[in-house]
Chains A and B, each alone.
Chain A
């Protein structure tokens, strides 16, 4: 799979280069032009954004080449710390053990994990109207006290069982979801384990009684901005008033992005996406990360990602400078 990604990327880059060759050359006569190769690996969550950034950065600095592969947050971290790549993409927090090994993380954009249920859920209307409280999510995903959809919406006469799905592979999304459900870790989450983001979405899509959670980019269709046909985003009832307020109800991708950017959507499950280097970045890698945090932020919205708040951006910049 990674090979395919690499191949796709290589083809994309080739096309990009070709287009560039056709376009008139920018009048760039700097004597010490930026050059070098930047290798990047890690989280699937950040991969599409990173390829976009690399493409744009290369347009500005044709002599900088990129080698990007996706293989999960843990791999990005391992690769960056071991020196196998220059930059690791990590879609979760950085653990103290990793920092002790020299991992130097900087937040570059935000993403969020959303709870999803099947659109044919027997209590779909009630869920949209009432939302699901954090406490109830804990009872579904951690303690297992809630086992029927009736219990979720306070209608004990409905005895349809909840089919709980979770991720089987170690990843950033389940880590964040577990953090949201009472500061737990992935291994504490109940439910049938399904492999990867699309797999989890597919399981909920096929099961009217299913519940799962997905990254922003998977829960919504990029083209239309609506949730993927067949699933609903379950509102999180943050103030426990038993109804989904306007702030809590998220129906489209722009709304989701807005809610995450303004902090109305809780964090976790909203999370900063990090790039990790071994110790403080230098040279061309530093220039690239600085560019991501400044001009590069212009491309964040189009990919379905969320901009960091100005304070977070300033903090990241401070760390890299």
Chain B
């Protein structure tokens, strides 16, 4: 074999490899498009009969009478996700900071795998735990206490007597998304060069000052990316939330109200109600709305991050 032919074959191989990888990397993109197209096609009957505004802002869900208002479900999705993320973020950031900046290597070796195990627990197990522990805790302890002290704030008003509520859903969700937020934030913190820490400490700064003024500022975009990932997961989490959130098709007013997020609507009814006209289309419409919400959320957060930094971070 001559040198030139060897070079040619190597170049050819390089080209083939590049093309193959390119085509394969296009697959996820085509998948998103395929899913969207399928959902639009299947939900078309309902989009045709009702105006988009009517569907999105309608508050009455009575498919048997032809009333398809998605607003209670959209609102429910946002409420549960917001409560979950608000509860999860502060402890997650602090845990990641501790692990990355303070903990000794042995502590890390023990805690890190444990956190990863949390991510591997099946959703339905979290759901059962929520029903057994969180729902009674919220119903018998948090609800009476908070609504008595803070009931004048409508957010904490108690309008229904059980623990099946947005707060229960939010707590379960917070526990479920924590491993993801912690893992990403921790990895981001670990990418901060050791020189920064040594330099800052050498100048006489304390560890906390180092974290606050050096590390935190530099790694903020990465941390936000971690939170975005957790939030995206929270939007779509179905089983565990469905088991504790009460599933009442109403627009919630308080964290102690029951809610009915979009994924729960789909899971509870898909495959069951296909014989009712438009129900099938309505459920796939719900899936489409959920997909669009998550896409918009991801796009928006990417744009915000880029604007913040003026460069491509995520």
Q: Which residues of A contact B (CB under 8 A)?
A: 71-75, 77-78, 81, 95, 97-98, 101, 161, 163, 168-171, 185, 187-188, 191-195, 199, 202-203, 206-207, 209-210
Contact = CB atoms under 8 A, between A and B. Distances in A.
B247 A168 contact: yes
A199 B243 contact: yes
B247 A73 contact: no
11 contacts: A72-B272, A74-B275, A77-B274, A97-B276, A101-B275, A168-B242, A168-B268, A187-B63, A188-B62, A192-B258, A209-B161
A195 B242 contact: yes
A70 B63 CA distance: 25
Contacts of A191: 248
A77 to B, nearest CB: 6
Contact of A95 (B258, B260, B264, B275): B275
A72 B275 CA distance: 14
Contacts of B131: 199, 202
Contacts of B243: 194-195, 199
B271 A75 contact: yes
Nearest to A81: B275
Contacts of B273: 74, 170
Contacts of B161: 161, 163, 209
Interface in B152-176: 160-162, 164
Contacts of B222: none
Contact of B61 (A75, A187, A193): A187
By size class, the interface of chain B is 20 to 34
B277 A97 contact: yes
Contacts of A98: 275
B221 interface: no
Interface of B: 61-64, 131, 136, 160-162, 164, 242-243, 246-249, 258, 260, 264, 268-269, 271-277
Contacts of B64: 185, 187
Given A169-B269, A192-B160, 8 more contacts: A78-B271, A97-B276, A161-B161, A169-B272, A187-B64, A192-B247, A195-B268, A210-B162
Given A185-B64, A209-B161, A75 B247 contact: no
A81 B264 CA distance: 26
- Which residue, B63, B249, B268, has most C-beta atoms of chain A within 10 A? B268
A202 B135 CA distance: 12
A195 B164 CA distance: 12
A78 B269 contact: no
Contact of A207 (B162, B248, B260, B274): B162
A74 B248 CA distance: 21
A163 B275 contact: no
Nearest to A82: B274
Nearest to B165: A192
A177 to B, nearest CB: 15
A203 B171 CA distance: 19
B219 to A, nearest CB: 41
A77 B273 CA distance: 9
B129 to A, nearest CB: 13
A170 B269 contact: yes
Given A74-B274, A187-B62, A192-B247, A170 B162 contact: no
Contact of A206 (B136, B248, B277): B136
A199 B268 CA distance: 13
Nearest to B277: A97
B248 A193 contact: yes
Contacts of B269: 169-170
Contacts of B61: 187
A185 B246 CA distance: 19
Contacts of A187: 61-64, 249
Contacts of A78: 271, 274-275
A321 B235 CA distance: 52
